[in-house]
Amino acid sequence: MTSKAAALFSPLKVGSVIIRNRLAMSALTRNRALGTNPNDVMAEYYGQRAAGGAGLIVTEGILVSRQGTEWPFAPGIWNKEQTTGWKKIVDVVHANGASIYAQLWHVGRVAHPDAPEQKLAGTPVYGPSAIAARGGKFRHIPGLPGYVTPTAVEDPWTIIAEFKQAAIHAKEAGFDGVELHGANGYLPHQFLDSTSNKRTDQWGGSIENRARFGLEILKALVEVFGENVALKVSPAGGYNDVGMPLQETLDTYKYYLTAADKLGLAYITLVRYVPHTDVEFDGKKRATAHDVSASYRHLIKNAKVFINGAVTPEEGAGLVDAGTVDGVSIGFNWITHPDLVKRVQHGKPLDNVPDIKHLQWGKDESALGVGYTDYPTATY
């Protein structure tokens, strides 16, 4: 291990807990929760990665209410059975020395009314305004439809209350903290972005009004978890058809991140612009490409800062060593390498071959571990 890489392996205080290293596992949707309930295969998956050295694990997005997402087996945390399932996972992670945050998720306008879970919910697909996102492909719905025009949510406080209740359940399950999924064009991002939010009430129009929804969710989460609340943002946008002109983006996130940082958060994750995740409409890339770290890092004076978006351990070590960020949040390499931290420590290559076919589903309902818990560890 080089001296620069050693920067990744110093402990870090995040909220009220001390994580053992700076290599976090980012939220990764894996679509294994049959009936929206966490299960033993998921416990094995998270336990493997805790045993593999993760300092902080952020769960896949956990739905705060029943929604018809593009992932029919995404987990929830709105009832007792789900909460009990998550407690088993939390206990396994803690037993293996890692800390774990629940990422709380509402997809907003990128759900579908014909999805089975949306039908069970008996509620409309909500967005800040009745503006459809372009794109989408619901592979589990006949015809593979895309996104639809949502119903403008009448009273956003009702959804804020759902986030708070989800946080209460997360607390009961023993999570170390909660992360608000404020990125990737999901509901908090939809409210913040002027292309998806055309409201004329206190929740739309000015930057302050568009930021209100996300900030009020964070305040509600802080009421439950105190200093153990985090925020993830992707200012460049693109994914799920969000993104504003550059100056408006800079002004919006300057206000939003400055205000969020005053709430006493544990950390803020900044997602960089990643070209291969950008989407194209009418021959034009959707995202507003800019240097997210250079644009916003200096605004965050209290919370720890993690960087996410195609970050390698080698690059992350340099960023931490330079003091640019406090930690790095790694995604895809955690899918394929349950022992990622140990490999980095011992100079082992990250050479497992991704099982793309089973990325979002196992072989069948009786073999959910295929492409999920069957990646080998290195020989030490």
Confidence band, pLDDT 50/70/90 cuts, at residue 2 = low
Q: What is the pLDDT of residue 27?
A: 98
Q: What is the mean pLDDT of residues 187-195?
A: 98
pLDDT in tens, 47-92: 999 999 999 999 999 999 999 999 999 999 999 999 999 999 999 9
Query: If you search the block for the tokens 């909220």, which residue do you land on?
Result: 15
Question: What does the pLDDT read at residue 3?
Answer: 58
Ordered alpha helix ranges (H), the chain:
40-51, 80-95, 116-121, 156-173, 187-192, 207-225, 246-261, 292-296, 313-321, 332-336, 340-346
Identified catalytic residue from 45, 46, 101, 186: 186
Half-sphere exposure of 12 (CA within 13 A, CB side): 25
Does residue 186 carry a catalytic annotation? yes
- Angle (nearest 5°) at CA 57 between 231 and 222: 35
Give the chain's mean pLDDT: 97
CA 358/CA 338 separation, integer angstroms: 16
d(CA 149, CA 261): 33
SS3 222: helix
Only one residue has tokens 């900030």, namely 215
Give me the mean pLDDT over the 284-305 stretch. 98
pLDDT digits (tens, 9 = 90+) for 82-138: 999 999 999 999 999 999 999 999 999 999 999 999 999 999 999 999 999 999 999
* Per-residue confidence band for 6, with pLDDT thresholds at 50, 70 and 90: confident
Question: What is the per-residue pLDDT for 4?
Answer: 64
For the record, the structure tokens of 368 come out as: 């959910």
